[in-house]
């Protein structure tokens, strides 16, 4: 059995138009949402390794998650170039290449790739949009990541920032 944790980066800033897409940071809402989501996920999940896109907004999202979920900061974090994609097929290819010794993967990435991936793997989820700083957990009845195919997953849990109680 495999578990896939998907987290979309927090709300990015478009304030400085001179920055490339990779260089954009988080806006105020994003800087608040990431730690709040980290605190909420800390009560639901064990801390684990995180694979994160190299985009600055994804890196800052991970930092924010760790602020709200300090035990996550003690885990291994890997920046993975392949996670800077907006294409679910590219994500699927990367997932199929992961070592089978890894039963859980936690990714921080981008839309539309993440929303599309959820809908391809777990069509019953009928996810219209994984919002910024949104989290989805999928259960996959697989022994090998290479066996990843459309329709194989079940949506186990989801959490979106708008569902959190105001502090």
Q: What is the pLDDT of residues 108-138, one digit of tens each?
A: 999 999 999 999 999 999 999 999 999 999 9
- Whose tokens are 């997953």? That residue is 153
pLDDT at residue 21, rounded to an integer = 83
- Distances from the Cα of 98 to the Cαs of 43, 64, 105, 143, in angstroms? 27, 26, 9, 12
The predicted model gives 46-75 an average pLDDT of 97
- pTM reported for the whole predicted model: 0.95
Q: What is the mean pLDDT of residues 49-63?
A: 98
Provide the H-helix boundaries in 99-148.
113-121
User: Whose CA is closest to 98, among 142, 46, 47?
Assistant: 142
Residue 165 has pLDDT above 90, yes or no: no
Overall average pLDDT of the 95-107 stretch: 97
% of the chain with per-residue pLDDT over 70 = 99
The answer to whether residue 167 scores a pLDDT higher than 70 is: no
CA dist 104 and 102 (Å) reads: 6
**What is the Cα gyration radius of the chain?**
15
Place of tokens 């979920």: 69
């Amino acid at each position: 059995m495999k578990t896939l944790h998907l987290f979309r980066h927090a709300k990015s800033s478009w304030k400085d138009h001179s920055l490339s897409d990779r260089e954009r940071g988080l806006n105020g809402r994003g800087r608040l949402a990431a730690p709040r989501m980290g605190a909420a996920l800390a009560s639901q999940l064990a801390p684990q390794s995180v694979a994160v896109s190299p985009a600055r907004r994804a890196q800052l999202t991970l930092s924010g998650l760790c602020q709200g979920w300090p035990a996550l900061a003690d885990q291994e974090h890997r920046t993975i170039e392949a996670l800077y994609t907006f294409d679910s097929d590219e994500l699927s290819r990367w997932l199929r290449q992961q070592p089978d010794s890894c039963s859980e993967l936690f990714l921080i990435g981008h839309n539309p790739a993440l929303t599309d991936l959820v809908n391809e793997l777990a069509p019953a989820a009928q996810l219209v949009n994984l919002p910024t700083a949104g989290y989805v957990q999928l259960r996959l009845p697989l022994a090998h990541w290479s066996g990843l195919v459309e329709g194989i997953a079940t949506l186990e849990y989801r959490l979106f920032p708008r569902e959190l109680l105001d502090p």
